Chain A
Amino acid sequence: MAVATKIGVKPRVKAPSPPKPASEQTLHIIGQPLPKVDAMAKVCGETVFVDDLSLPRMLYCKIKRSPHPHARILKVDTTGAQRLPGVVATLVGWELPIPFGILPVSQDEHALAIEKARFVGDPVAAVAAVDEETAELALRHIDVTYQVLRPIMSIEEALEEEEVRVHDYGPRGNIHKTVSLQFGDLEEGFREADHVREDTFFFEGNTHLPMEQHAAVASYGADGKMTLWSSTQTPHYVHRALAKVLEMPASHIRVIACPNGGGFGGKSDPFNHEMVVAKLSMKTRRPVKVTLTREEVFYCHRGRHPAKMWIKTGVKRDGAITAMHFRSFLDGGAYGSYGVASLYYSGALQTVTYRVPRYRFEGVRVFTNKPPCGPKRGHGTPQPRFAIECHLDKIAEELGMDPLELRLRHLVEPFSVTVNQMRLRTVGLKECLERVARRSGFPEKHGRLHQGVGIGLAASAYISGAGLPIYWNDLPHSGVQLKLDRGGGVTAFCGSTDIGQGSDSVLAYVVAEELGVEVSDIRVVTADTDLTPVDLGSYSSRVTLMMGNAAIEAARRLKPLILNEVSREIGVPAERLRMAHRRVFDARHPDKGMSFSEAVVLTEAKHGTLGSTGSYRPPPSPARYKGSGVGPSPTYSYSACVVELQVDRDTGRITIDKIWIAHDLGKAINPLLAIGQIEGSVYMGLGEALMEEQVFRLGAHKSPSLLEYKSPTFLEMPPVEAILVETLDPEGPYGAKECGQGPLLPVIPALVNAIYDAIGVRIDEVPVTPAKILQALEGRLRAPEVPSFTFPEPLRVPPLSPIEGATI
């Protein structure tokens, strides 16, 4: 065979040439385009996803769901199902009476609905049977008596209706949460402006659509302990919710997150089906598995909130922003989920790209009778980013300014604090903008292409890890434990969860880099609440930064022990020793030294069993106002995107010619994986911009299928030029920031801005369907309407003193 066939062989592909790191440390593994540690298992079909598990005596669970969007449950009768041969147990709501929810402030879900069903698909009963067919059949023998209530299906209805309430908590009616924050004298800002513009936008809801349907297996053992394997991004939070709902000590529950077949935020909540199989396993003393159908995945949802938005900005003649006022109206669906955080996020990051000296944010999230919305890639920020970047393009045109110029002139300063008290570190946005502009030829092309051909630009920023955990505590956000083996192997334990983004690989790279061994010498054990230190989960783009820092700390606690022993043994001062290529050696005389495993043996003989831990907690945020828990991050990533496209004026169809995207990720831990994250983000952004939408009819989801929920295929994906911008952020491991979510953000507005450049009409809502293009061309597409709503008086946040802003 002419081809390289050894498993784990290093790739021959050319890396997208990252710049040399500025740090003194010579890096051997970080920055290399290595294959993922689990790559061969995945391509050989050996990776074990939850539904691949099969345990002796395992039962299969199916869940009965509400056919009504809003109904009082009068009676659930499972006797018919229980009589069916092969049915072992049934479960109804009152058997798990304790509510749960991802956020402490919205504990509003039950494993199975007790009093009310709140959307078509809300779970009301469950069965465990000897096989899936029997379980499915049994569902038809469960009788549920409902009293149908009027469903609330839109933001407007939710805001108007006071009597019919989806939940009986929240300030009133169907309002889940309102926010009103003001930073600085807004009126003064608008008075100072040479030009003030207002716009409205609408962003339709859409969903994550991971290819793997959610699944869980629970096994309650004779020892009274529970093990749950689940397709979850957040085993730690599932662990907490299970303990609460099952009324069991957390120490008796073990949650293992299997590798996720895609997550994108859709597997970040504790879910009904996890509680249900756990309880059924307790009732039957047998393992119980549930695998959702694709339709049920649409009912789990937690995807993008439909958002109506209003924005008003004052600018000087040169485009400098004097004040910005932003309002968002979010359709939250039937439960709280991450909604309060989503709402704050819809107002938090307006300030971290361009200088905004005065800012007011008002937002409201409502309950409706639809599957609950929550965090999807970019959590709460793609909607406002779409609005801002299109709004700025309109302003640039009115000022007669080039949209690139307008953005470049007013960028935030690195290491500054924004008006809403977000503390910034490195900011590579200028370089991102300049590089996409140069590579795409934006300055020469914008406004100058043929009729029907257009080019558009947008920029964005995203958090690199949430500054605060979901529940208030002082504990680390990520912990890593290392165990050294006499054979030279290293086991790295961490609660982090690989959802396909490569977090297991990042853990191995960091540990191998620090200890000077090869990636293949590292065994990673992750996402197991019994075995691994807590990591809060794969959400908010936090894993590389937080787990990476924890891993570095753990390794750097071990290193001195090893170096001191080797130093003593070979008589070279410890500070002159280096660890690389599985050796510990004298930097001046590299031949002098020993193998890593010899060094481990030496050190173990001296100190006993070798292990260490490291942990990471984000630096405290300077912001202390109520509501400042959402938005702060150790640092922010930046992106800029240019889209070039063609519009068929007869059919309204869009063909994308090419996309250029530059992303400031601080430092590419692995450029191959970073580019994969960026290309995947572009893909998901395109889907949202052009076709993906979650809409409802007769109270039900209109298209809960992979056929009718339109996810772009191989044929819809245009060429993408991804540019990595490295700013070596002091907060990140080796300077790294996030790259898995941020690059989605600028794609949508860049595309919509390109449509305007192509055909001269503005589409202020996504997805941009061909029908909307034609309506716009015919002058019949109305601007999105936002509801009239009186927000509460804003909390006027006093500015930070210069000392507060500077020292933290």
Chain B
Amino acid sequence: MRLPPFRYLAPRRPEEAARMLADHGPEAMPVAGGTDLYPNMKRRQFEPRVLVGLRALAGVRALSGSPQSGVEIGGLLTLTELTEANLLRSAYPAIARAAGLVSSPILRNMGTIGGNLCIDTRCNYYNQSFEWREAIHFCMKKDGETCWVAPGGSRCWAISSSDTAPVFMALEAEVTLVGPEGERRIPVRDLYKTDGIDYLAKRHDEILTKIHVPPTDGIRATYLKLRRRGSIDFPILGVAASLRMASNRTVEKAHIVLTAVESAPVEAKEAERMLVGQELTGEVIRAAADAAYRPARPLDNTDLTHAYRKKMARIFVARALEELSMGAGSQE
């Protein structure tokens, strides 16, 4: 399978990259590691005439900060670099873990954290070759009318498949987006929209340059991933959880975020509310897991059955909370 032809631009600064994207409009796309975009281009899910290569950008490859002040993660850092960074392993182990669970070692050596946060939504009616999609008369996300996952409906149900997004959301991280007119900073939770096609709040001409993670501040966090094999596979369910415990052993603050069950990561708000003020007993965990799995609505568009994935949402939330209740995932 071969890539369609394109022009390749290699800007040096983020603003320059943004300007190029703006100038070329929808015909241009940014590319960093290429591990998501190039397969999609080979399958003709995208046929950009211009690629704006981000590899040579200055100033977006650094990891800095401390547990006390929070850290800044350059968007071009590879997932391997995140997995191996001592600062993250010791202070923010959930980030290192989630990054280390993405695909396979080789892909992690190529793919960037910025790319993982912006990864295209996935669906097994969509991540197929042109000829395959032609055989089913295409789908709403590309070249067609129907969403085969929910044929009666009016939206696309391709699923958010980032392993790291739910962790950054659970840690209340923010991202810097650099556009042709300047930069802005938004919470990671606001980066995503619940639509399989229009899934990012990042504008087409913006570049994700940095991720800002707040000080650890006593937060514990973890990430659990469901997939068929121990490597290569995308998440078919992911659960990120973060907690801060008060001195009286009750939960002071909690986040539970599910991935790969919707077109955006899903925050289990009700479960979060139920946890606050409670001690993490088995009963409380069970109740929170019950509440967290209810809003999860996995559909039949990835590996394993959606009924099973839904069932697993409860189990995985409970296991994440149990892990945290036993002191794992503490950020020092």
Contact = CB atoms under 8 A, between A and B. Distances in A.
Q: Verify that A and B bind, or say they do not.
A: yes
Interface residues of B, number: 27
Nearest to B4: A133
A771 B304 contact: yes
B132 interface: yes
Contacts of A68: 135
A774 B311 contact: yes
A713 B304 contact: no
B135 A771 contact: no
A704 interface: yes
Contacts of B132: 120, 295, 700-701, 704
A651 interface: yes
B1 A293 contact: yes
Interface in B1-38: 1-2
Residue among B131, B148, B231, B305 with most chain A CB within 10 A: B131
Interface string B308-325: 100110010000000000
A714 B136 CA distance: 34
A699 B134 CA distance: 12
Nearest to A652: B308
A704 B43 CA distance: 13
Interface in A91-147: 120, 132-133, 136
Contact of B231 (A700, A715, A774): A715
Nearest to A69: B135
Interface string B125-140: 0001101101110000
Contacts of B134: 67
Given A65-B131, A295-B132, A769-B304, A715 B2 contact: no
A133 B6 CA distance: 14
A65 B130 CA distance: 12
B311 A714 contact: no
Interface in A692-731: 698-705, 707-708, 710, 712-716
Given A295-B129, A702-B124, A708-B124, A713 B232 contact: yes
A651 B315 contact: yes
A171 B230 CA distance: 47
B188 to A, nearest CB: 26
Interface residues of A, number: 33
A770 B132 CA distance: 28
Contacts of A295: 129, 131-132
Given A133-B2, A698-B148, A771-B305, A713 B230 contact: yes
A703 B124 contact: yes
B306 to A, nearest CB: 10
B233 interface: yes
A691 interface: yes
Nearest to B227: A710
A710 B230 CA distance: 11
B68 to A, nearest CB: 37
Nearest to B303: A708
Interface in B231-258: 231-234
Nearest to B308: A771
A699 B135 contact: yes
Given A698-B148, A713-B232, A770 B308 contact: yes
A793 interface: no
A650 interface: yes
Contacts of A651: 312, 315
A67 B124 CA distance: 17
Interface string A633-654: 0000000000000000011100
Contacts of B228: 691, 710
A771 B307 contact: yes
Nearest to A137: B4
B49 to A, nearest CB: 16
Contacts of B135: 67-68, 120, 698-700
Given A67-B131, A67-B135, A293-B1, A716 B230 contact: yes
A705 B302 CA distance: 13
Given A651-B315, A770-B308, A713 B231 contact: yes
Contacts of A707: 232-234
A136 B232 contact: no
Contacts of B311: 774
A293 B230 contact: no
Contacts of B229: 691, 710, 712-713, 715-716
Interface in B205-234: 228-234
B211 to A, nearest CB: 27
Nearest to A710: B228
Contacts of A652: 308
Nearest to A691: B228
Contacts of B305: 769, 771
B224 to A, nearest CB: 11
A704 B230 CA distance: 20
Contacts of A716: 229-230
A698 B138 CA distance: 12
Interface string B116-154: 000000001000110110111000000000001000000
Nearest to B318: A650
Nearest to B2: A133
Interface in B93-118: 104
Interface string A347-384: 00000000000000000000000000000000000000
B145 to A, nearest CB: 14
A211 to B, nearest CB: 14
Nearest to B302: A708
A707 B233 CA distance: 7
B307 A136 contact: no
Nearest to A131: B2
A142 B2 CA distance: 19
Interface string A550-562: 0000000000000
Contacts of B231: 713-715
A293 B42 CA distance: 12
Interface of B: 1-2, 104, 124, 128-129, 131-132, 134-136, 148, 228-234, 303-305, 307-308, 311-312, 315
The 3 closest A-B pairs by CB, nearest first: A715-B230, A771-B308, A67-B135
Given A691-B229, A708-B124, A769-B305, 15 more contacts: A67-B134, A67-B135, A651-B312, A698-B148, A699-B136, A707-B232, A713-B230, A713-B231, A714-B231, A715-B230, A715-B231, A770-B308, A771-B305, A771-B308, A774-B311
21 contacts: A120-B132, A293-B1, A295-B129, A295-B131, A295-B132, A691-B228, A698-B148, A707-B233, A708-B303, A710-B229, A710-B303, A713-B229, A713-B230, A716-B230, A769-B304, A769-B308, A770-B308, A771-B307, A771-B308, A774-B308, A774-B311
